[in-house]
Amino acid sequence: MNRDDAITMEAAVTPSGQQGGSFRFSEDVVMLQGETFAAQAESIGALRTQLLSQHLREGRRALAILSPDDKAGSAFVAVNLAVSLAQAGIKTLLIDANMRAPSIQRMIVPPRGTSGLRECLETAGSDFGDIIQDDVLPHLSVIYAGEPSSNAQELLARPQLNLLVDLCLREYEITIVDTAPSNNCADAQLLATLLRYALIIVRKDDSYVNDVRTLIADLRANRVEVTGTVINET
């Protein structure tokens, strides 16, 4: 099986009046692969343990996943961390807020076309329930990015996003938000400022130290607490 193949897991799908279906999970979702990717899964599990003890225990209910460049693999970490938290019985929401180059739908493939964050933010008064995919796995819900957008920063600045985040913080124990790379747009900074907490993902031998330092400095200047940095070697 190659990295583009996917496994299928049955799950109830009820948003927007939809009836039964199944989500497919690519091999990049290492938390569902058993012994095949045991080392990567163990690393994600260690990250989950840290978050449970140092983040959730202090009442923090949101975390933005940031990267300095598009090679770091922030979506990989965001997806597997969200799955790992759900496996621990934590009511988790995963949001793909990288509307420039969304990728979570390639790792967690919905059974049919779905509305996403873009469509919600484009239309005032949208029903947030229409974009939340419940029961993707036990304790895991997902909001996809929707169609790619060239005006993502403008959309993320709209009041609907604040309302959506308020809902997520009330309804879920933890909300994990994947963001666009910070080296070519301000989307990630905007989201991190809204959520107040950020986890930075870097790629070993690819990400530049100065880019990471600049990202951390910018976040702290906006009063965002950086909970840690993850070196992705996959």
- pLDDT tens by residue, 24-71: 999 999 999 988 789 999 999 999 999 999 888 788 999 999 999 999
- Least confident span in 4-18, 30-44, 168-182: 4-18
Distance CA 87, CA 137 (A): 9
Evaluate if residue 153 carries a pLDDT over 50: yes
User: Hey, which residues does 200 pair with through a beta bridge?
Assistant: 66, 229
Band the pLDDT of 226: cuts 50, 70, 90. very high
Q: Chain-centre distance of CA 210, in angstroms?
A: 25
Q: Are strands 197-203 and 62-66 parallel, antiparallel or unpaired?
A: parallel
Band the pLDDT of 114: cuts 50, 70, 90. confident
Measuring CA to CA, how many Å separate 184 from each of 78, 176, 188, 204? 20, 22, 10, 20
Q: Chain-centre distance of CA 108, in angstroms?
A: 11
- Mean pLDDT of the residues in the chain: 88
Distance CA 54, CA 60 (A): 9
The pLDDT of residue 124 is 80
Distance CA 104, CA 24 (A): 12
Percent residues over pLDDT 70 in the chain: 91
Q: Are strands 21-26 and 108-109 parallel, antiparallel or unpaired?
A: antiparallel
Evaluate if residue 96 carries a pLDDT over 70: yes
- 3-class secondary structure for the chain? CCCCCEEEEEECCCHHHCCCEEEEEECCCHHHCHHHHHHHHHHHHHHHHHHHHHCHHHCCCEEEEECCCCCCCHHHHHHHHHHHHHHCCCCEEEEECCCCCCCHHHHEECCCCCCCHHHHHHCCCCCHHHCCEEEEECCEEEECCCCCCCCHHHHHCCHHHHHHHHHHHHHCCEEEEECCCCCCCCHHHHHHHHHCEEEEEEECCCCCHHHHHHHHHHHHHCCCEEEEEEEECC
Evaluate if residue 4 carries a pLDDT over 90: no
The pLDDT of residue 113 is 83
Evaluate if residue 7 carries a pLDDT over 80: no
Measuring CA to CA, how many Å separate 16 from each of 21, 115, 137? 13, 10, 18
Higher pLDDT: 220 or 6? It is: 220
How many other CB atoms sit within 10 Å of the CB of residue 71?
A: 14
One-letter amino acid of 71: K
